[in-house]
Structure 1
Amino acid sequence: MEHIAFLGLGHMGAPMARRLLAAGHPLTVWNRTADKAGPLVAEGAALAASPAGAVRDADVVITMLAGPDALEAVARAAGEALRPGVHWIEMSTVGPDAVLRLAARLPRATLVDAPVMGSTDKAAAGALGILAGGDTAGVEHLLAHLGSVTRTGPLGSGAALKLVLNSAVISGIAVVAEALRLADALGLDGDTVRTALANGPLAGVVARAHAEGVHFDATLAVKDLDLATRTARLPAVEAALEHYRRVAEPGEDISRAAARIRTA
């Protein structure tokens, strides 16, 4: 059983790490806020004081971090401690440029970019959609504990596809919120409009806009759309980004941002 170092225990990282621990893998964890590691340590994980301490004896490193800056900082702190031949699975939403910079920084590691689709409920159930770029042969059995794997092509392609999908979903949620604002202005019954939208082609987006019991921080939605709009000219996505920048509150699910867009 490979020794795994899991770096980043936020809303998504913690349940993903728990899945690997439950599968029997020796697990060392690190998180910038160490208190968040408490439940995993109680279940048998080892807690490292630094990224370097976490990866020193690891066969596989998994990162699930907030964005490109956090990934850069962790890679800089951990790089010299890596064992030759280690597999590094980068599962954050950081875009392809950050993945390629990581590969250049870690010449002794085999890197796979494997961002995920799905929220905290899917992470806990091991039912994430994993978009995997690069050579996945050595780690696909580990990813299977977390969800289903779609091979996307060369290194960086998973991160690229994740930006495409998140841009569509997050912008779509803003569109649904505006559609409901239009319905309010027209004096229509909100429940009737929501049901009609949910029965149409936007069904999945409508469901996510009103989801309860899951979490995707609205400030991370801002980060994702910002990454996308730096890559190409995307007027509709740029408009959605301005919506989220205006209403997103740290720690709140994206559905709360959608509610604010509706009433703003």
Structure 2
Amino acid sequence: MKIIAVLGTGHMGTPIARRLLAGGNRGRVWNRSPERSEPLGAAGAMVAASPSAAVDGADVAVKLVANTGLVTAVAALHEALAVAAALGVDRQTALDVLGRGALGGAVGRVTAPGASFAVALAAKDARLALRRPVPAPVLEAALDLMRAAPDQDADLSCLVSVDFLKGC
């Protein structure tokens, strides 16, 4: 019996989760609107409060989310866990750090206007993280954005400006 996390319990995720439960698997479900997961909770799935709580300890994670930003966030979560594992950080510690919002706070600090974290330094960190044999397409895309920045000494906040992103 596998533990399967289903992220997104809309029109596709709900029937998939139901079939997985009917097949004898243990399910963990998460949805941006928690009430969408309640019927699956009544059917035996654990309703998770966050994507990280859903995937913690799961054997498989199925992502069925419509919002592009959410898809990116979920993919980034999986990448963060894979990179942490490759660096020798245990999964629970990585989930604890991500769950407390420490990563979000750090990203907010370095991307805020007036921050002093240069694009070149962020690109160096991304290159070092990508040396590990872990697929990380979100990080690779971010590195591509950093490499395309016209001024490598510019503040990292230039990467989140609308004008820069339109040019990429």
Q: Which has the higher contact order (CA 8 A, sep 6+)?
A: 2
Query: Could you state the TM-score of these two structures normalised by the residue count of structure 2?
Result: 0.47
Larger helix proportion, structure 1 or 2? 2
Q: Which structure shows the bigger proportion of residues in strand conformation? A: 1
Q: Bigger radius of gyration, 1 or 2?
A: 1
Task: Name the TM-score, length of structure 1 as normaliser.
Answer: 0.31
